[in-house]
């Protein structure tokens, strides 16, 4: 099994939203996203999709996008992004997810020996007291996610975020420090668009850090592990 990751698909089947307004890298979206996925992912693979999945505002509007994802090869693990306003309570979401598609929130998942934990994350440093509260809540959610692995057997661990788990200068945040304590094989994140990968940290304490925003990957999921 291969483990891939790609964030920020920004799908919008119900109310199409052209992404080219965000730059030429989005030319041909979303067709390029679906084509790139099919070119690299096999049925036996696992794909992490850490956030900004759909532009929908309500779950009913997001379901066509979720079904489009479900029709792609591989099993999928979803995390919430800052634009996923459609994301309801986790129990309600899980009740409508197609087979082979999973959503994480305050917990973790083990599939074929690969554990996936994570949370959305938030802007760092927090610019306001309200953002400080949100960031602290995200730290607690990551703590709960990692704790959910207690007693579970797995050979590999990937920690996923939507926001980058480091500050604007590449400095470690409490989220990155907490994730590193779990000694994952890799950490993945999205959210950044148009960033120069050469100016981003590539590792923390020997743990690879992977930017997996769809446009940064030219819409081809990035292989994180091969099990």
**pLDDT tens sequence across 80-117:** 999 999 999 999 999 999 999 999 999 999 999 999 99
d(Cα 189, Cα 165) in Å, to the nearest integer?
7
Q: So what's the pLDDT on residue 153?
A: 97
Instruction: Give Cα 101 distance to the centre of its chain.
Output: 13
pLDDT tens per residue across span 55-86: 999 999 999 999 999 999 999 999 999 999 99
pLDDT exceeds 90 at position 175: yes
* 9 SS3 class: coil
State the pLDDT at residue 54. Answer: 98
Between CA 83 and CA 142 the distance in angstroms is 19
State yes or no: pLDDT of 21 exceeds 80. no
Sheet holding 46-50, edge to edge: 101-103, 75-79, 46-50, 2-5, 222-226
Domain count, the chain: 1
Residue 13's pLDDT is 93
Question: Can you tell me the distance from the alpha carbon of 119 to that of 153, in angstroms, rounded to the nearest whole number?
Answer: 21
Is the confidence at residue 194, as pLDDT, over 90? no
User: 27 or 223: which carries more pLDDT confidence?
Assistant: 223
Helix 129-147 and helix 174-181: axis angle, to 10°?
Answer: 10
State the CB neighbour count (10 A cutoff) for residue 23: 11
Rounded CA gap, 144 and 138, in Å? 10
H or E, element range at 31: helix 31-40
Burial of 39 (0-12, 13-18, 19+ CB in 10 A): exposed
197 falls in which pLDDT band (50, 70, 90)? Answer: confident
Q: What is the pLDDT of residue 213?
A: 97
DSSP for residue 73: S
Domain harbouring 177, CATH code:
3.60.21.10
Predicted pLDDT of residue 17: 86
Query: Model pTM greater than 0.85?
Result: yes
**Alpha carbon of residue 103 to chain centroid:** 10
Model confidence pLDDT, tens digit, residues 141-166:
999 999 999 999 999 999 999 999 99
* pLDDT at 20 (0 to 100): 80
What percent of the chain shows pLDDT beyond 70?
Answer: 100
pLDDT computed for residue 18 by the predictor: 84
* Cα end-to-end span (Å), the chain: 5
Q: Which domain holds residue 141?
A: 2-226
What is the pLDDT confidence band of residue 168, given thresholds at 50, 70 and 90?
very high
**Buried residues in 164-186 as b, exposed as e (16+ CB within 10 A):** bbbeeeeebbebbebbbebebbb
For residue 77 the two structure tokens come to 């693990």
Q: Residue 20's closest CA among 220, 195, 215?
A: 215
């Amino acid at each position: 099994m291969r483990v891939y990751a790609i964030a920020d698909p920004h799908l919008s089947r119900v109310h199409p939203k052209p992404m080219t307004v965000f730059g030429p890298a989005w030319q041909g979206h979303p067709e390029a996203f679906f084509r790139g996925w099919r070119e690299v992912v096999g049925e036996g693979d696992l794909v992490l999709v850490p956030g900004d999945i759909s532009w929908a505002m309500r779950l009913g509007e997001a379901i066509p996008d979720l079904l489009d994802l479900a029709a792609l090869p591989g099993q999928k693990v979803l995390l919430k992004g800052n634009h996923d306003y459609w994301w309801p309570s986790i129990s309600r979401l899980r009740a409508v997810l197609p087979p082979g598609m999973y959503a994480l929130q305050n917990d973790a998942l083990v599939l074929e020996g690969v554990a996936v934990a994570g949370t959305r994350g938030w802007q760092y440093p927090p610019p306001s007291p309200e953002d400080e509260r949100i960031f602290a809540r995200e730290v607690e959610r990551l703590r709960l996610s990692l704790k959910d692995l207690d007693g579970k057997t797995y050979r590999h661990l990937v920690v996923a975020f939507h926001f980058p788990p480091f500050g604007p200068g590449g400095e470690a945040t409490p989220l990155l420090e907490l994730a590193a304590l779990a000694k994952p094989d890799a950490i993945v994140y999205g959210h950044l668009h148009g960033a120069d990968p050469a100016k981003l940290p590539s590792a923390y304490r020997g743990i690879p850090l992977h930017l997996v925003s769809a446009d940064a990957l030219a819409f081809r999921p990035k292989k994180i592990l091969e099990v």
